[in-house]
Amino acid sequence: MIHERSAGGLVLRRFRGREFLAAVRVKGGAVLALPKGHPEPGESVAEAATREVREETGLDARLIERVGDVRYFYARDGERVLKVVTFFLFRYRSGSVRDHDHEVDGAEWVPLEEAPARLTYAGERKLAETAKQGIRL
């Protein structure tokens, strides 16, 4: 079995009295997900999460804390892969979701209360629910 590591972020922003979560569109816009990606050589998972947030959402955000891991299996070239994605909570500082990079089809702000229902992946929906229930910055 192959082991793979990634890092990602939940970027929160308060706007007009409501919390919003930054999400990205991938796979032709069909998938709404949290920004994430692989660490580069010599990069910690926290540094990778910060970079991936900036690249995929166009946002500058301050890392607050580690939220948790999402683990799942998939197949690549006939081999089973265990992927572990470590997610961190971020607070928006500046930037625009229009400035996302080419790795994603788009980036958008989703009302935090809607995120657990709108995100595509189950593990990410659970993290959004956790953020909705207990994270107040």
Second-level CATH architecture of 2-134? Alpha-Beta Complex (3.90)
Position 132 scores a pLDDT of 85
Q: Which single residue is written with the structure tokens 């994605």?
A: 85
Position 73 scores a pLDDT of 93
At 30, is the pLDDT very low, low, confident or very high (cuts 50, 70, 90)? very high
At 133, is the pLDDT very low, low, confident or very high (cuts 50, 70, 90)? confident
Is the dihedral angle over the CA atoms 117, 122, 125, 130 positive or is it negative? positive
pLDDT digits (tens, 9 = 90+) for 56-70: 999 999 999 999 999
Which tokens sit at 20? Answer: 């919003």
pLDDT digits (tens, 9 = 90+) for 74-103: 999 999 999 999 999 999 999 999 999 999
Residue 99 CB contacts under 8 Å (≥ 6 apart), including other chains = 58
The residue extents of the domains of the chain are 2-134
Which tokens sit at 135? Answer: 């994270």
Position 135 scores a pLDDT of 59
Which residue, 7, 35, 37, 122, is CA-closest to 72?
A: 122
Answer yes or no: is pLDDT of 137 > 60.
no
Answer yes or no: is pLDDT of 1 > 50.
yes
Which tokens sit at 18? Answer: 């409501």
